[in-house]
Amino acid sequence: MNEFENTIKIGELADKKVADQIVSELLKRNIHVRVHLDSESGLFVITSEDKATAPDAFDYYRVKVGFAPPPQEMPEEYKKMKETPLGTISLIFLAISGLVFISKIFVDDSIYKLFFMTNFHGQDSFLPEIMQGEVWRLITPVFLHFGFMHILFNAMWMKDLGSLIENLKGKTYYLILLLSSGVLSNLAQYFVSKNPFGGLSGIVYALLGFIWMNKQFDKNSTFALPKKDIWILIGWFFLCFTGAIGSIANTAHGVGLGVGMLFGILNGAKTSGEYPLGEMLKFSLIAVLFGAGTLSFEFFILPMITGH
């Protein structure tokens, strides 16, 4: 009769101390296993009699002996983000962006021409269509995207970050944040661009700035971004300046980030009931530096470097 009959084999080891350690750690996780000496092989075999927990025991054993990487625990910030339902305003912005993007693929670029801030880039006149009453062009460039990865990247971030803010602050506040960051980042980008531009990136950076600063000034806030993601997005912001990933609306990114930070500073301080003037001034200056600094760089310094 097989000595391991009616049991589920989890793994086997030559070192009894390691086997005992694995059994002890699994028991702490309420996963019941045992260790036996296999008289034929001389190895210490870990077994389970519980089919429900055996897969977890096997995964833990594989990690412990180096057969598999340790499972990555999802940060609490991500869990809350994924549990937040998609907000109505976020859905509307994403739907418009998707429909406009599809229209260019299956129809033509006639809708794009209605969404650009102007169709007369490089000319002396200042936003002629808007001056003639087409005021929607102040915001509509945010719905324009020029490639699948462009719209996918922006949509993923807006879905997660935007829904957090919309569910926390409500539709009216959220819409004010979107319109403020969208219009200001569009206008700033217009001043430095000689070519048509578009995308939700300026708004996405505003959402990042809001969440970042809101948590900075309201420690009890129920939502945040993992610090590594904040630095990834900030790193991406500076990477765009190198030109290594093509023509990017850097000024829209910088102004959007700055606007979002200012909103987040004020909201975080108001919610917490504390107004640390020194900290507020410091981060407000950083926000202004992101916006005005990026605009100044692209308007004054970059043309001198490139000769354009």
Provide mean pLDDT across the span 3-16: 78
Q: Which two tokens stand for residue 307?
A: 């000769």
pLDDT in tens, 170-219: 999 999 999 999 999 999 999 888 678 999 999 999 999 999 999 999 99
Mean of the per-residue pLDDT values of the chain: 87
- C-alpha 263/C-alpha 287 separation (Å) is 10
| Catalytic (active site) residue 32 | no
Residue whose pair of structure tokens reads 């948590």 in the numeric block: 215
At 14 the pLDDT is 84
pLDDT band at residue 1 using 50, 70 and 90 as cut-offs: very low
Query: Nearest 5 degrees, angle CA 112-CA 116-CA 118?
Result: 130
DSSP of the chain, one letter per residue?
--TTTTSEEEEEES-HHHHHHHHHHHHHTT--EEEEE-TTT-PEEEEES-TTTHHHHHHHHHHHTTSSPPPPPPPHHHHHHHHSPPPHHHHHHHHHHHHHHHHHHHT-SHHHHHHSS-S-TTSSSSSHHHHTT-GGGGTGGGG--SSHHHHHHHHHHIIIIIHHHHHHH-HHHHHHHHHHHHHHHHHHHHHH-SS----SHHHHHHHHHHHHHHHHH-TT-S----HHHHHHHHHHHHHGGGTTT----HHHHHHHHHHHHHHHHHHHHHHHT---HHHHHHHHHHHHIIIIIHHHIIIIIHHHHH--
Q: What confidence score (pLDDT) does residue 181 get? A: 97
Tens of pLDDT, residue by residue over 94-148, are 999 999 999 988 888 888 999 999 988 766 778 889 999 999 999 999 999 988 8
Write out pLDDT tens, residues 150-173.
899 899 989 989 999 999 899 999
pLDDT at residue 304 in the model: 66
Structural domains in the chain, sorted by start: 8-64 (3.30.70), 76-306 (1.20.1540.10)
Residue with tokens 């084999």: 9
**C-alpha–C-alpha distance, residues 214 and 261, integer Å:** 8
Check: CB of residue 213 under 8 Å from CB of residue 168: no
List the catalytic residue out of 253, 272, 284, 296.
Answer: 253
C-alpha–C-alpha distance, residues 59 and 296, integer Å: 54
Catalytic residue among 201, 247, 284, 308: 201
Using the predicted structure, report yes or no on whether residue 280 has a pLDDT greater than 90.
Answer: yes
Q: Is the pLDDT of residue 73 over 80?
A: no
Q: How confident is the model at residue 18 (pLDDT cuts 50, 70, 90)?
A: confident
The verdict on whether 103 is a catalytic residue reads no
For residues 262 and 224, the model is more confident at: 262
Least confident of 65-69, 108-112, 223-227, 289-293: 65-69
Sheet with 44-48, side-by-side order of all strands: 8-13, 44-48, 33-37
